[in-house]
Amino acid sequence: MATLADILDPTGQTTPRIGGTAQAPRRTDLTGVRLGLLENTKHNAALLLDELAALLQSEHGASATVLRRTKTVFALPLPEEQLAELVRECDVVLTGVGDCGSCSASAVADGIALERAGVPAAVICSDAFTATASGMAEVQGAPDYAYLTTPHPVAILDPDAVRDRARQLLPRVVATVTAAGAQQEAAS
Amino acid sequence: MTLTEAPAVVPDADPEAAQAAIEHCYAQGWSDGLPLVPATRSLVDRFLATVDRRPDEVIGSLVHLNRTVTVELAAVNAAMAGCRPEYFPVVLAAWEAIQRDRSAQGGGWQSTSGPSPLLVVNGPVRAELGLNAAGGVFGPGFRPNATVARSIGLMVRNALGVVPHGFEQATQGLPGRWQVCLAENEEESPWEPLSVEGGVPAGTSAVSGMLTRTVEYVDNRHTADPEQLLADFADTISRSGAAIFRHHPAGIVFCPEHAQLLADAGMSKADVRAWLVERCGRSKADLARVGKDGVGDNGVRFADGGTDPEAFDRLFSGAGPEVLPIVVAGARNAGISMVVRVLSGWSASSVPVVGRTTPSTQAGAVQ
């Protein structure tokens, strides 16, 4: 006679991925760093990243050399070539805005991939999508991966409101991609 | 290999054991909210025996989520959904049809739009399995229609791991999600079946599929004029709430009465499409009122406000079945049809049903 243990599992779930560390080495400051901006086509994403880059240049000495790239498929993680280019050309990458079900998850996957390739990254998601963003961190084997959130919604903000968001995010972006922030986190 | 068929009646079946098994399935997180049939090896083997496919064949994946769907997992989920074994070839064809929708390969299942497959079955398998093509075709009430559609939902939930409030981020979802599998009413349709437009010869059983956002009825029992009738469809198709991008697709499930009225006026499916493609859309003035008159480089609408109010934005990007698939289904008792909100278009590619779809022990045996 069959028992409950004989009921088949419909998930086919394999053991979770064991991921390597998802933290690239950090610099102590951002003087002269070449920024990469990876926008995902969501409305206001490019503007938010541009505003952050301007602040990092004027207030933290980031280089005027900025590589701007657009994700071709926002729902999916970055293709290898685009990842390789960012890793080659940039010292720090900012990406976002994770503002939908699939793109918030894929933004986190991109951040983790960049970190594993040695480039500190700040991933910005809307705070309405933490479940899916954190779910992706788990799938990638980095359940503690720290991404940044900004209040939902982002898409309908006017340019001044986007600038305000950049200003609010700046200290957390700096903390995320520098050694000071990493130490702070380790201490907390 | 000899298969053990479960007897039709098990006199000593224990209903309380069945209840416990159902509760076990809920406790594992496998259910979509309704009871599941506990799938055992012997039951799933009967599903697998209807097709000549390797159980470990991969038939879908979401690489970024590290998940894959195999024929075996499809069978487990179809069994749990309440399918009979002989439905399994239709489930596999339905899955393949949906895989051909580009949204399903991208982030569709994770989308805030919470899309639902619309499955359409053509050919002799409709009668073999007792699929409903007539009254109440959108359901519920018919086991193959209900359980084939549900199977796809369970595969996405369990095998792909896209679960509500997790990777599934539907803002509201939609009524009828994972519940719509129509058989086309070929007998009362004046036109070629959808599967023929999808490249499968007439008379061959096939499934077509596309992701959709909802359906909206057009109730017109008021005119015998084909142009007045189509104008009623154009109005529903053109509503601004559905406009996100420069263009968007739509579909129509015509009731036999509307289809026959149009065909009697000499219109083919292509004529119907051409008439609608010409007229569906909104003026910039209408779109400006709802903040959608501008169109960005990426094709997404935005509130521009400076567009020419007289200009007209056509809704469709083309005139083929990819952007406006047409199906005939339902009873011939009223002029009530459905406009379908197709998410990103139909692949215009139907999938033949391959396998043994007749319910007998012999038919289930593997050669």
In angstroms, what separates the C-alpha of A30 from chain B's closest C-alpha? Answer: 31
Q: Measure the CA–CA gap between A7 and A10, rounded to whole angstroms.
A: 9
**Lowest-pLDDT choice from A158-162, B98-102, B255-259, B295-299:** B295-299
Provide, as residue numbers in chain B, all residues whose Cβ is less than 8 Å from the Cβ of A157: none
pLDDT recorded at residue B258: 98
Whether pLDDT at B1 is above 60: no
Instruction: Give me the pLDDT at residue B359, please.
Output: 76
Domain residues of chain A, as ranges?
Answer: 28-178
Which pLDDT score is estimated for B9? 62
Residues 6+ apart with CB under 8 A from B143: B82, B84, B130
- Min distance A70 CA to chain B CA atoms (Å): 11
Q: Which of A41, A73, A106 comes nearest B298 by C-beta?
A: A41
Find the CB nearest A76 among B80, B107, B302.
B107
**A152-156, B38-42, B238-242, B363-367: range with lowest mean pLDDT:** B363-367
B86-129 confidence digits (pLDDT tens): 999 999 999 999 999 999 988 899 999 999 999 999 999 999 99
| pLDDT interval class at B277 (50, 70, 90) | very high
Which residues in chain B touch residue A77, judged by CB atoms under 8 angstroms apart? 64
For an interface test with A, the pick among B47, B101, B169 (most A C-beta atoms closer than 10 Å) comes out as B169
Please state, rounded to an integer, the average pLDDT across all residues of chain A: 91
Distance in Å, alpha carbon of A56 to nearest chain B alpha carbon? 28
Chain-chain contact of A12 with B112 (C-beta, under 8 angstroms):
no
Residues of A in contact with B301 (CB under 8 A): none
For residue A161, report the phi and psi dihedrals to the nearest 5 degrees: -70, -35
With an 8 Å Cβ cutoff, are B64 and A9 in contact? no
Please determine, for residue A37, whether its predicted confidence score (pLDDT) is greater than 70.
Answer: yes
Quick one: pLDDT at residue A95?
96
Instruction: Report the residue from B80, B165, B167 with minimal CB separation from A10.
Output: B80
By CB atoms closer than 10 A (0-12, 13-18, 19+), residue A89 is: middle
User: Measured on CA atoms in the order B190, B196, B202, B205, is the torsion positive or negative?
Assistant: negative
Of A10, A74, A109, the CB nearest to B77: A10
Q: Please state the rounded mean pLDDT for residues B339-351.
A: 97
Q: Which of B288, B194, B193, B271 is nearest to B229 (CA)?
A: B271
DSSP A85-126: HHHHH-SEEEEEEE-SHHHHHHHHHHHHHHHHTT--EEEEEE
Cβ under 8 Å to A: B residues 93-122: 106-108, 110-112
The tally of domains found in chain B comes to: 1
Residue B335 main-chain phi, psi, to 5 deg: -90, 70
- Asked, for residue B126, whether it belongs to a domain, the answer is yes
Confidence at residue A188, expressed as pLDDT on a 0 to 100 scale: 40
Would strands B58-62 and B67-70 be described as parallel, antiparallel, or unpaired? antiparallel
Ranges A94-103, B286-295, B338-347: which has the least confidence: A94-103
> Would you say residue B6 has pLDDT above 60?
no
Structure confidence at residue A183 (pLDDT): 46
Who wins on pLDDT, B66 or A188? Answer: B66
Residue B338 has pLDDT above 70, yes or no: yes
Does residue B7 form part of some domain?
A: no
Residues B13 and A181: their CA atoms lie apart, in Å, by 63
CB count within 10 Å of CB B359 equals: 15
Nearest CA to CA, how far is B308 from chain A (Å)? 23
How far does the CA of residue A112 sit from the closest CA of chain B (Å)? 12
Is there a domain that residue B292 lies in? Answer: no
Out of A2, A10, A76, the one facing B30 most closely (by C-beta) is A10
> If pLDDT is split at 50, 70 and 90, which confidence band does A108 have?
very high
CATH for A28-178 is 3.40.50.1700
Average pLDDT score over residue span A103-115 = 95
The more confidently predicted of residues A173 and A101 is A173
Closest Cα in chain B, distance from residue A101 (Å):
5
**Higher confidence at residue B361 or residue A56?**
A56
Range of the domain at B335: 15-280+315-364
CB–CB contact B169 A101 (8 Å): yes
In this prediction, residue B11 carries a pLDDT of 67
The answer to whether residue B80 neighbours chain A at the CB level (below 8 Å) is: yes
Confirm whether B322 is domain-assigned: yes
Question: Is B362 a residue whose pLDDT tops 70?
Answer: no
Mutate to test the interface with B, among A8, A70, A72, A134 (most CBs of B within 10 A): A8
Query: What's the pLDDT at A21?
Result: 78
User: Which residues of A lie inside 8 Å of B (Cβ-Cβ)?
Assistant: 2, 4, 6-14, 17, 41, 43, 73-77, 100-106, 109, 129, 131-132, 135-136, 139
| Mean pLDDT of all residues in B124-145 | 97
Three-state secondary structure call for residue B152? helix
ipTM over 0.85: yes
Task: Kindly report the nearest CA distance between residue B303 and chain A, in angstroms.
Answer: 10
Q: Averaged over B19-32, what is the pLDDT?
A: 97
Span A78-87, average pLDDT? 96
- B15 pLDDT more than 70: yes
* Structure tokens belonging to residue A173: 């972006």
Mutate to test the interface with B, among A17, A102, A134 (most CBs of B within 10 A): A102
Lowest mean pLDDT among A74-78, B156-160, B189-193, B305-309: A74-78
Q: What is the mean pLDDT of residues B218-228?
A: 98
Tell if the CB–CB gap between A103 and B158 is shorter than 8 Å.
Answer: no
- pLDDT at residue B224, as a whole number: 97
Question: What is the distance between the alpha carbons of residues B10 and B208, in angstroms, rounded to a whole number?
Answer: 37
Q: In this structure, what is the dihedral angle of CA atoms B288, B289, B292, B293, given to the nearest 10 degrees?
A: -10
pLDDT classification of B133: cutoffs 50, 70, 90:
very high
Residue B25 sits at the chain A interface (C-beta within 8 Å): yes
* Percent of residues, chain A, with pLDDT higher than 90: 82
- B236: nearest Cα among B222, B247, B220: B220
pLDDT at A185 over 80: no
Is residue B350 predicted with pLDDT exceeding 90? yes
By C-alpha distance, the chain A residue nearest B28 is A9
Q: Specify the 3-state DSSP secondary structure of B18.
A: helix
pLDDT band at B62 (very low <50, low <70, confident <90, very high): very high
d(CA B95, CA B101): 10
B147-163 pLDDT, tens digit per residue, is 999 999 999 999 999 99
CB contact under 8 A, B39 and A8: yes
Q: Please, which pLDDT band fits residue B12 given cuts at 50, 70 and 90?
A: confident
Residue of B44, B68, B154 lying closest to A8 (CB–CB):
B44
Per-residue pLDDT tens for A1-26? 789 999 999 999 866 666 777 889 99
Residue B361: per-residue pLDDT: 53
> In B18-38, which positions are buried (b, 16+ CB within 10 angstroms) versus exposed (e)?
eeebbebbeeeebbbeebbbb
